[in-house]
């Protein structure tokens, strides 16, 4: 059973709430059946997945191009595209069963600001640059930096959603960040006034 949208969802998604609700339904049904979302995650889809991913767009400028690395079931990329139709979002995901689901969601929700690309991040290096590159629960910062920063244009941002291990991962990733032209801007907390669990985002600027 899909959990109903909490009151805060209207504040976060505004006119895009119906699409967010439909995406929640698809995550609770199709994505769960296909093994893209664990059954235990269904009761907390809004607080732990949809709302926190949506808040990442607070760090993204209008009309930006966004690449979501290892998009999986579309978190955060699809949620960002739903909340911010001005963004041009590319979902990069290597697994066929996941890209099939993403393409089906994009078609059903009519998200004409989203492209799905079946590839590993490294396979996109040299062929495209983006204003913002995002990721969530993909890999430790050291590896994630090697995959993501080559996709960020000069002056653009790499935004990695991380948990409590963010500072530890950054300590290990320092040399790679520097080598790839990244400058750490900090670990930003989002949604403390809206959500039970705030969102932790590592913000790296590309030189």
pLDDT in tens, 57-86: 999 999 999 999 999 999 999 999 999 999
The answer to whether residue 1 sits within a structural domain is: no
Residues 206 and 121: their CA atoms lie apart, in Å, by 17
Residues 107 and 103: their CA atoms lie apart, in Å, by 6
Quick one: pLDDT at residue 64? Answer: 98
Look at phi and psi of residue 63 and say left if phi exceeds 0, alpha if psi is from -120 to 50, else beta.
left
Q: What is the pLDDT of residues 148-180, one digit of tens each?
A: 999 999 999 999 999 888 989 999 999 999 999
Q: Which residue has the higher pLDDT, 139 or 108?
A: 108
The answer to whether residue 33 sits within a structural domain is: yes
* Structural domains counted in the chain: 1
Quick one: pLDDT at residue 4? Answer: 87
The answer to whether residue 162 sits within a structural domain is: yes
What strands, in cross-sheet order, belong to the sheet with 152-162?
114-118, 88-93, 65-69, 130-136, 152-162, 199-206, 182-190
Share of the chain above pLDDT 90, in %: 88
The answer to whether residue 122 sits within a structural domain is: yes
The answer to whether residue 164 sits within a structural domain is: yes
Residues 174 and 141: their CA atoms lie apart, in Å, by 9
Share of the chain above pLDDT 70, in %: 100
Query: CATH code at 28?
Result: 3.40.50.150
The answer to whether residue 106 sits within a structural domain is: yes
| Mean per-residue pLDDT, 193-203 | 91
Residues 166 and 177: their CA atoms lie apart, in Å, by 14
Domain that holds residue 70: 7-206
Identify the residue whose tokens are 């996941």.
98
Please state the pTM of the whole predicted model. Answer: 0.96
| Mean per-residue pLDDT, 130-146 | 94
The answer to whether residue 2 sits within a structural domain is: no
pLDDT over threshold 80, residue 2: no
Q: How far is CA 70 from CA 94, 117, 171, 187, 195, in A?
A: 7, 10, 23, 21, 25
Q: How far is CA 120 from CA 45, 91, 123, in A?
A: 26, 11, 5
The answer to whether residue 40 sits within a structural domain is: yes
**Lowest-pLDDT range of 43-47, 51-55, 67-71, 92-96:** 43-47
Q: What is the pLDDT of residues 5-39, one digit of tens each?
A: 999 999 999 999 999 999 999 999 999 999 999 99
Quick one: pLDDT at residue 165? Answer: 86
pLDDT over threshold 90, residue 130: yes
Angle between helices 17-26 and 96-109 (to 10 degrees): 150
């Amino acid at each position: 059973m899909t959990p109903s949208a909490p009151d805060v969802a209207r504040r976060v998604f505004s006119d895009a709430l119906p699409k967010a609700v439909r995406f929640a339904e698809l995550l609770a049904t199709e994505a769960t059946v296909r093994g893209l979302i664990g059954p235990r995650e269904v009761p907390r889809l809004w607080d732990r997945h949809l709302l926190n991913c949506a808040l990442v767009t607070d760090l993204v400028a209008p009309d930006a191009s966004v690449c979501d690395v290892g998009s999986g079931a579309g978190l955060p990329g699809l949620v960002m595209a739903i909340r911010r139709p001005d963004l041009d979002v590319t979902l990069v995901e290597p697994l066929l069963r996941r890209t099939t689901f993403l393409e089906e969601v994009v078609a059903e929700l009519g998200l004409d600001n989203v492209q799905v690309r079946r590839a590993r991040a490294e396979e996109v290096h040299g062929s495209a640059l983006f204003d913002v590159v995002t990721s969530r629960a993909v890999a430790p910062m050291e590896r994630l930096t090697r995959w993501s920063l080559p996709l960020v244009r000069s002056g653009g941002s790499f935004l990695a959603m991380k948990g409590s291990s963010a500072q530890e991962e950054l300590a290990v990733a320092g040399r790679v960040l520097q080598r790839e032209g990244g400058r750490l801007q900090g670990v930003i907390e989002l949604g403390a006034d809206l959500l039970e669990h705030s969102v932790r985002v590592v913000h790296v600027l590309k030189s």
